[in-house]
A and B are shown apart, each in its own frame.
Chain A
């Protein structure tokens, strides 16, 4: 046998083995990529998403999986960075994974969603709230959380009706999520006749805010809305309180995390936060909450139950539509409603939830929260 035909033969044998291997593998498991920050400054939110999704995978597997197949969660780390998110999305495409739960940060969800749309991969984000994500006319993109054009007005109306600030400041972190929601809040309060005298952006990763605090203090600001994540707001709170600036603060669900109290300490007392309703307090979820507690995980984080719901929706759709083709599943999801830990959900044409409620909580220095009436 000459070299050429030997090579062709071995290649052919290899291909057969590989092919068989692939088929055998695909028959066993249904892979769902869970993409979000596992490392980096906002990894805590990634934790919530991962624990919710993994709980769903475990429970569904314990009940026999989907159509005889086991679910497998494949964790992907995008560090909440847009360019890393695209790399992760490419990897998901290359690994031929057909379903994605994630991403988490709006800034990384948007660029990744384009790839999923182009490649026909079903994506459900349990956490990204920027409205633009579902306004791109995409068919494969859904979310199990509300949007900032719901959250912003919720916060803005509360500020206008309850706080009634005389001199208000709106600060954001110049990211898609932070600036987006800050602009929504500004729009809402200005429509109600309140003046926003300061509208400024800080940098992601900035650590010294003393100049900003001095500026707000000398401008007699009496209320501050911050659009962004907790690492920056925690430091702003701490440094501003130190300077004796005692205005009220409010932020979106990106700041509602235990770490804000670890960073800001006593300065985090009284911070107002808009969060999804606390699904873990819903009596219907009592068993699920117990399952989380048994695993020593916290079920109260804002993205835990939405992530659980996202996995469950994919599985229910696979069962209901009797297909694994993501494009057909997207169609099915759009037309049906699902019973999940975040309630009975149905989707709009663009992939947003038909209904979702944000609730206002007051944060405490010991990292607990109480709902505000």
Chain B
């Protein structure tokens, strides 16, 4: 039972990160019906920005206040990564608006290759690593036997994820711009006719998706502490799976999909073999799609952004 709880903690941590990235996929799909394959690279860039900012603050300027470092890094990373998201949409997707669906997809793959190489040239193709900023945690359970370990970092990941997800949900549900987003996802042309600048809404979607990926990137560089220009590919595939699992186009679906994916990976390595963790995760995806082709929460008519 104790091991099981520990595996749940492990899975939830992993799942939170997947969910944060998955939202970027799902939002863009919800509004313009396109899979933004460069999204994984956005996450990778934000991990770099996070690691560089943290290193600069701690080593260069000798800042020791951890919450301050964290807050500053998050802000810098969200701003910079959001700018990347905006630029990518401007450069690679907007000129192709209205062209057949495959064209922006290819543009996205090109963007992804470009960004990977761009970071490789700028930062080198080698692993960068960093010692954990936040270490330690709580232990529960018998002194002699198996103790559950809940690290501060895991709690932080969960808390930050929940905060940003709530903020996003509120923003979509309550604000003017959020309403515009929902309108766009229902009918782009009609929304345009009603006098809403849809291009602006689409830009906003990219910025929001990038901002959440930035949060994931900062958290991962804090939690794992080792990054290279290729981490975006793997994470992107996993997050895309999570988005499809939960129902692409649905924000709660992306959250749910991420958590399910994280948990299934954890349980597969715990109770089967570590080799099978991806097999289990993707078999789950196939099974869900067989019985619910729109994903778990994918009811595009009712809930789609």
Q: Are A205 and B234 in contact, with the CB atoms below 8 A?
A: yes
Cβ-based interface call for A192 (8 A): no
Cβ-based interface call for B7 (8 A): yes
CA distance A265 to B133 in the complex (A): 12
Q: Are A242 and B151 in contact, with the CB atoms below 8 A?
A: yes
Q: What's the least CB distance linking B93 to chain A, in Å?
A: 28
Residues in B whose Cβ lies below 8 Å from that of A174: 275
Closest-by-CB residue of B relative to A234 is B226
Cβ-based interface call for B176 (8 A): no
Residues in A whose Cβ lies below 8 Å from that of B234: 205
We find that the number of chain A residues with CB closer than 8 angstroms to chain B is 33
Cβ-based interface call for A19 (8 A): no
Residues in A whose Cβ lies below 8 Å from that of B126: 39-41, 43-44
Q: Are A40 and B125 in contact, with the CB atoms below 8 A?
A: yes
Cβ-based interface call for A263 (8 A): yes
Q: Are B230 and A205 in contact, with the CB atoms below 8 A?
A: yes
Q: Are B10 and A218 in contact, with the CB atoms below 8 A?
A: no
Q: Are A208 and B149 in contact, with the CB atoms below 8 A?
A: no
Instruction: State whether A265 and B131 are in contact (beta carbons under 8 Å apart), knowing that A43-B126, A207-B224, A231-B226 are contacts in the complex.
Output: yes
Select which of A171, A203, A215, A244 is within 8 A of B147 by beta carbon: A244
Q: Are A211 and B7 in contact, with the CB atoms below 8 A?
A: yes
Q: What's the least CB distance linking A181 to chain B, in Å?
A: 17
Residues in A whose Cβ lies below 8 Å from that of B192: none
CA distance A174 to B10 in the complex (A): 23
**Interface membership of chain B positions 118-150, coded 1 if the CB is closer than 8 angstroms to chain A and 0 otherwise:** 001000111101011001010100000011010
Cβ-based interface call for A316 (8 A): no
The stretch of B33-41, B251-259, B263-271 that contacts the partner chain: B263-271
The A contact surface, by secondary structure, is: helix
Residues in B whose Cβ lies below 8 Å from that of A242: 135, 137, 149, 151
Cβ-based interface call for B300 (8 A): no
Q: Are A203 and B278 in contact, with the CB atoms below 8 A?
A: yes
Residues in A whose Cβ lies below 8 Å from that of B269: 211-212, 215
CA distance A262 to B226 in the complex (A): 9
Q: Are A210 and B135 in contact, with the CB atoms below 8 A?
A: no
Residues in A whose Cβ lies below 8 Å from that of B270: 211, 214-215
Select which of A200, A207, A235, A244 is within 8 A of B274 by beta carbon: A200
Residues in B whose Cβ lies below 8 Å from that of A265: 131-132
Q: What's the least CB distance linking A63 to chain B, in Å?
A: 34
Cβ-based interface call for A75 (8 A): no
Q: Which 4 A-B pairs give the minimum distances between C-beta atoms?
A: A39-B125, A211-B269, A210-B10, A218-B3
Q: List 29 A-B contacts (CB under 8 A).
A: A39-B124, A39-B126, A40-B228, A41-B127, A43-B125, A171-B274, A174-B275, A200-B274, A200-B275, A201-B273, A201-B274, A208-B13, A208-B265, A211-B10, A211-B265, A211-B266, A211-B277, A214-B6, A214-B10, A215-B269, A215-B274, A231-B127, A231-B226, A238-B225, A242-B137, A242-B149, A262-B129, A263-B127, A263-B129
Apart from A214-B6, A238-B132, A238-B225, what 13 extra A-B contacts exist at CB < 8 Å? A39-B124, A41-B127, A43-B126, A44-B126, A207-B231, A211-B277, A217-B146, A231-B226, A234-B129, A259-B127, A259-B129, A265-B131, A265-B132
Q: Which residues of B are in contact with A by a Cβ distance under 8 Å?
A: 2-3, 6-7, 10-11, 13-14, 120, 124-127, 129, 131-132, 135, 137, 139, 146-147, 149, 151, 220, 224-226, 228, 230-231, 234, 265-267, 269-270, 273-275, 277-278
